[in-house]
Amino acid sequence: MRVLLTGGAGVIGSHVAVELIGAGHQVEIVDDLSNSVESVIGRIGQVAGVTPTFYKLDVRDEAGLTAVFEEHRPDAVIHLAGLKAVGESVAQPLRYWDVNLNTTITLLRVMAAQGCHRVVFSSSATVYGTPEELPLTETSLTGVGISNPYGRTKYANEQLLVDAAGADPGLGVTLLRYFNPVGAHPSGLLGETPQGVPNNLMPYVAQTAAGKRAKVMVFGDDYDTVDGTGVRDYIHVVDLAKGHVAAIAATNPGVHIFNLGTGQGVSVLQLIAAYSRAVGRDIPYEIVARRAGDIAECYCSPAKAKADLGWQTELTIDQACADSWRYEQGAR
Ligand code: UD1
């Protein structure tokens, strides 16, 4: 298939591009480089053997996006372009709503005009808010107790896409709800280089291991979990990327929803221990107060993705830590 990847220069997009090319698809990338660098495109080529065509473009630019569609006539779109920093979304809600919703609205308009009928959307476990049940399944309650504007824009995007599919019986929409993506490409060439202080746990642990941060701040050890620290479902970014390849093939008319996770909960202290094993020495940490908006536990049932897509995770948290550490050591 010819697949257009929005946000394809980002950490998840670059891994998705590699897996798509490996599966024989033709890939075009649009990205405005607001949180990525153009050199990633060449690295995708180094890893995958084929360099995708790249357009520096804001997906809200309808004329620009139309021109890309006219040139490549994609069979499917994987829509990853969007803003994703939780703290920033609290400070800049209008920017988050504008970018995260208007990219999708523009994309759906152009797809309809150009006769493209398949879209896979990058959603998040954040749509489940405070989980009512664990493990989370695709029918678990969504939309209640989402603690920040970023999360609410993900939920709103899901509703927008469901409404679009409701109005167009030919449109196929797949919503992929990512749990906590971690790790990097085993080649050491693709990964995440956070701007400023990392918000998420594994990048912070990586920078602590590298001596860029003094110690990891563990946000609370009084949750009702295995060791009192927060539990999440950390999924290796290469496994996550393969989930997208499985999803495009299955994006038939209608709405399809899948959790992409391992199904296993890992605590903050367990993740620090796994990273310490990868590095070969203990990583210093300190227990501090809980972070506002955090939940105790979040992990999924990946059974539906396994049954319907034939996809399941293959890589462990230890492999994610080893790959993250390899990337961190080569990080420029
Ligand atoms: C966060 C976002 C979520 C988003 C996801 C993207 C919040 C409330 N949620 O999820 O909407 O989709 O990132 O990956 O921000 N932790 C520490 N010390 C740190 C950082 C984190 O102890 O320096 C703990 C947290 O309390 C949590 C776990 O590590 O228990 C994971 O945190 P994080 O990586 O930020 O992800 P989430 O909060 O699950």
| Backbone phi and psi for residue 244, each to the nearest 5 degrees, phi listed first | -70, -40
Binned at pLDDT 50, 70 and 90, residue 194 comes out as: confident
CA 281 – ligand 1 centroid, Å = 24
Tell me how far apart the alpha carbons of residues 45 and 33 are, in angstroms, rounded to a whole number.
Answer: 17
Give yes or no for residue 158 having a pLDDT over 90: yes
Residues with a catalytic annotation lie at 150
High-pLDDT (> 70) share of the chain, %: 99
Ligand 1 atom, smallest distance to 295 CA: 30
Q: For 288-317, what is the mean pLDDT?
A: 97
- 136: DSSP letter: B
Lookup: tokens for 273: 């221990």
H helices of 54-200, in order, are: 62-72, 86-91, 93-114, 149-167
- Whether ligand 1 lies within 6 angstroms of the CB of 251 is answered as no
Say which amino acid occupies 245. V
Binned at pLDDT 50, 70 and 90, residue 212 comes out as: very high
Tell me how far apart the alpha carbons of residues 146 and 155 are, in angstroms, rounded to a whole number.
Answer: 9
Q: Whose CA is nearest to atom 26 of ligand 1?
A: 219
Instruction: State pTM to two decimals.
Output: 0.98
Q: Whose CA is nearest to atom 30 of ligand 1?
A: 230
- Whether ligand 1 lies within 6 angstroms of the CB of 222 is answered as no
Question: 3-class DSSP state for residue 281?
Answer: coil
Ligand 1 atom, smallest distance to 293 CA: 8
Ligand 1 atom, smallest distance to 202 CA: 34
- With CA atoms as reference, report the closest residue to 12 among 138, 124, 174: 124
Q: Which helix (H) or strand (E) holds 275?
A: helix 268-279
3-state helix, strand, coil in the chain (%, to 5): 40, 20, 40
Q: For 202-225, what is the mean pLDDT?
A: 97
- Whether ligand 1 lies within 6 angstroms of the CB of 201 is answered as yes
CA 205 – ligand 1 centroid, Å = 12
Tell me how far apart the alpha carbons of residues 118 and 76 are, in angstroms, rounded to a whole number.
Answer: 5
Ligand 1 pocket test: pick from 155, 180, 233 the residue with the most ligand atoms within 8 Å of its Cβ. Answer: 180
- Whether ligand 1 lies within 6 angstroms of the CB of 178 is answered as no
CA 201 – ligand 1 centroid, Å = 6
Tell me how far apart the alpha carbons of residues 128 and 109 are, in angstroms, rounded to a whole number.
Answer: 28
Lookup: tokens for 109: 């308009």
pLDDT in tens, 232-284: 999 999 999 999 999 999 999 999 999 999 999 999 999 999 999 999 999 99
- Whether ligand 1 lies within 6 angstroms of the CB of 99 is answered as no
Dihedral over alpha carbons 41, 42, 45, 47 (to 10 degrees):
-100
In Å, how far are 17, 68, 74, 102, 132 from 13, measured between CA atoms?
A: 6, 18, 17, 19, 31
